[in-house]
Structure 1
Amino acid sequence: MSCWLFKSEPDVFSIGHLAAEPDQQCRWDGIRNYQARNHLRDRVKPGDQALFYHSSCKAVGIAGIMVITSAGYPEPDQFDAASDGYDPDSTADKPRWFCVDVKLVRKFARLIPLSELKQQGPLQDMVLFRQGRLSIVPVTDKEWQAILHLAG
């Protein structure tokens, strides 16, 4: 099992939105970065755990945990001309963008703010801090355990 951190802007899709979905499960889509796409397509697997991270907002930080419930598959919106996610250069035989399905495991009692994460010794080398604009990043076992400790 691998561990990940998935970012979302909470005004677009928050952990509260995921909690309100049927069975607290949905498709994680809208990724338009090639490195993040590669993670979804090639590395993220069913059963992997992911931290749900609220980004680009007033209260930035980790809000909870999800589990990946599907392998990566071509994102349907890239083929729909009426969708905001439409990509005219993507075809069914050569899809450009991928997504996975996720399910809420746990919403933390409190958001763990970025400022607190940066103060933790075991988290000093997190990819999150080095590649801040990347929406899907790997998390080491040591980092995962440190974050679970912060969450209580």
Structure 2
Amino acid sequence: MATFDPLRDLEHFTTSFFDAGRRGPRQMPMDLYRVGDQYVLAADLPGIDPGSVDIDVDGQLLTIRAERTLVSDENATWIARERTGGSFLRQLTLGQGLDTERITASYDNGVLSVTIPISEKAKPRKIEITTANEPTSIESSVS
């Protein structure tokens, strides 16, 4: 037995109405967190062929693009069609102190993981101070 939920139906209508005419790329949901000396970006890209994913870095701008192509059968009678096809885009401005030359990416179970290491120059280090009598070490830390 079907139940009538006016809020769900209204949400479905507005989403399909406003999203149907959307021409630009869609955003992908993501998480960004730090583990040790690297940042990890995890983006949801279910149903996307990993070959269609493009990641590039231009200066401090990280860009992730992906394309989802939906199967369309002319003989099909659609009962529900909620999955969207098209292009997805996410751009992030990377801060200073990141090693953009060593960024890596992997794709597993619909999740794209991008690892962004912190550069060696940005990591805390000891600076040695010398005096006329003897060398002394002072530890500096960067938060």
Q: Which has the larger radius of gyration?
A: 2
Question: Would the TM-score normalized by the shorter structure come out above 0.5?
Answer: no
Instruction: Give the structure with the higher percent helix.
Output: 1
Give the TM-score of the pair, scaled to structure 1: 0.24
Instruction: Give the structure with the higher percent strand.
Output: 2
Give the TM-score of the pair, scaled to structure 2: 0.25
